[in-house]
């Protein structure tokens, strides 16, 4: 019988050291002006890109899978900017509580056409909000909470309890409420019943039991939770992101797609339709700013059973794909090809 691992006395000590180091680093960063800190982040990103061979290869593989039509030199440039982007996000997270509040947010963010989103939120109606690891998802939720909207975001608690408590408190300073992934089922239903909004970063690999939908011409395992919540509670799925503008701390909030119950009610498989459509929206976001995407995650790591077994695509999956209104034959042909390198 396997025994559960007990926390050793050294765990608390190590976690404490990690927490102290993070606080010191954050204090050092925020002692600078934000433009200087962001320039430093980009320079550090270029340095890491040069020497981190393993992650550089991973990003290049992901870019080749997503954008095979790009020449190698263009993917190399996007790879370097992706490293810079990751370091900028760290800096932006440290500065967000200081720079984004009721009196200052308008100097840091501009709105695209958010009318479908604002109509829903201003009416006090529930919604599921979806974004991906593109642009700055932390700033997106923070700004909406600062504007006074009831925002709840699903998150995975960190293993370090000190860091976790600190980051949760920072995120909740302006009213953003966090819902732990491990205790989410009942709370998510309550939020929607109360007319609140639930936010998801919905582009993670969901394992072998996820819903396999297209993403950059390849099947990608995606969590069912967004589609299940939307279809069971009959609430819209609003897909948006915060795109970085220029080299300073400035963003444009963009609504990429709005998916309503009327859109899926006549679809043969509503869950599949909703899941495929919000992933299509995230792909659209990434195509507009590929250098602002976290290419480090292995988005296509899990493969469908038929592909692992070297079999042809099942009729059921083929029918689901062909039922998507935007599907074309060229994309279908690509989806049927097995992925050799994920």
Contact by Cβ (8 Å): 143, 136: no
Residue 8: pLDDT band (50, 70, 90) is: low
Measure the CA–CA gap between 192 and 73, rounded to whole angstroms: 46
Q: Could you tell me whether strands 109-111 and 251-259 are parallel, antiparallel, or unpaired per DSSP bridges? A: parallel
Mean pLDDT of 208-229: 95
Measure the CA–CA gap between 121 and 74, rounded to whole angstroms: 40
Confidence (pLDDT) at 311:
92
* Tens of pLDDT, residues 83-130: 999 999 999 988 988 888 888 888 899 998 889 998 998 888 999 999
Measure the CA–CA gap between 259 and 215, rounded to whole angstroms: 18
Answer whether residue 289 shows pLDDT above 90. Answer: yes
| Top-confidence range, 11-25, 185-199, 226-240 | 226-240
Cβ neighbours of 189 (radius 10 Å) = 14
DSSP calls for 237-273:
EEEEEEEE-SSSS-EEEEEEEEE-HHHHTTSSSHHHH
Mean pLDDT of 242-253: 93
Provide the CATH topology of domain 102-335.
Glycerol-3-phosphate (1)-acyltransferase (3.40.1130)
Answer whether residue 325 shows pLDDT above 80. Answer: yes
Answer whether residue 3 shows pLDDT above 50. Answer: no
Measure the CA–CA gap between 337 and 258, rounded to whole angstroms: 31
Confidence (pLDDT) at 341:
65
Question: DSSP 3-state assignment of 31?
Answer: coil
DSSP calls for 282-322:
HHHHHHH-GGGB-TTS-TT-S--HHHHTTPPPPHHHHHHHH
Q: Looking at 83-149, which runs of residues are DSSP E strands?
A: 109-111, 127-131
Contacts of 341 (CB under 8 A, 6+ apart): 61, 65
Answer whether residue 280 shows pLDDT above 60. Answer: yes
Measure the CA–CA gap between 10 and 181, rounded to whole angstroms: 27
**Dihedral over Cα of 162, 41, 239, 326: its sign:** negative
Query: CB-hemisphere CA count at 13 Å for 95?
Result: 26
Confidence (pLDDT) at 155:
76
Mean pLDDT of 180-198: 81
* Tens of pLDDT, residues 137-153: 988 888 888 888 878 88
Answer whether residue 2 shows pLDDT above 50. Answer: no
Question: DSSP 3-state assignment of 119?
Answer: helix
Across all residues in the chain, what is the average pLDDT?
A: 89
Answer whether residue 7 shows pLDDT above 60. Answer: no
Residue, of 342 and 274, whose pLDDT is higher: 274
Confidence (pLDDT) at 69:
95
């Amino acid at each position: 019988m396997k025994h559960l691992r007990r926390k050793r006395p050294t765990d608390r000590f190590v976690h404490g050291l990690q927490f102290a180091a993070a606080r010191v680093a954050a204090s050092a960063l925020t002692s600078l002006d934000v433009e200087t800190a962001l320039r430093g982040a980009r320079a550090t990103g270029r340095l890491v890109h040069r020497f981190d061979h393993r992650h550089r290869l991973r990003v290049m593989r992901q870019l080749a899978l997503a954008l095979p039509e790009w020449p190698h030199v263009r993917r190399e440039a996007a790879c370097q900017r992706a490293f810079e982007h990751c370091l900028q996000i760290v800096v932006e997270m440290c500065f967000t509580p200081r720079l984004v509040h009721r009196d200052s947010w308008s100097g840091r963010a501009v709105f695209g056409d958010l009318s479908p989103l604002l109509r829903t939120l201003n009416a006090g109606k529930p919604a599921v909000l979806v974004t991906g690891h593109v642009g700055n998802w932390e700033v997106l939720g923070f700004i909406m909470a600062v504007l006074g909207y009831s925002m709840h975001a699903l998150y995975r608690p960190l293993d370090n309890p000190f860091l976790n408590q600190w980051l949760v408190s920072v995120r909740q300073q302006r009213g953003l409420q966090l819902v732990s992934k491990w205790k989410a089922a009942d709370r998510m239903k309550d939020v929607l019943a109360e007319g609140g909004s639930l936010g998801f970063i919905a582009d993670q690999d969901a394992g072998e039991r996820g819903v396999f939908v297209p993403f950059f011409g390849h099947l990608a395992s995606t969590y069912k939770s967004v589609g299940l919540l939307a279809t069971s509670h009959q609430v819209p799925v609003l897909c948006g992101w915060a795109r970085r503008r220029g080299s300073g701390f400035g963003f444009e909030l963009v609504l990429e797609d709005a998916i309503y119950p009327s859109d899926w009610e006549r679809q043969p498989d509503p869950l599949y339709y909703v899941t495929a459509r919000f992933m299509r929206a995230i792909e659209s976001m990434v195509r507009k700013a590929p250098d602002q995407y976290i290419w480090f995650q292995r988005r296509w790591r899990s493969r469908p059973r038929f592909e692992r077994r070297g079999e042809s695509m099942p009729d059921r999956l083929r029918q689901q794909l062909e039922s998507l209104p935007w599907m074309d034959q060229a994309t279908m042909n690509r989806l049927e090809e097995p992925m050799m390198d994920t």
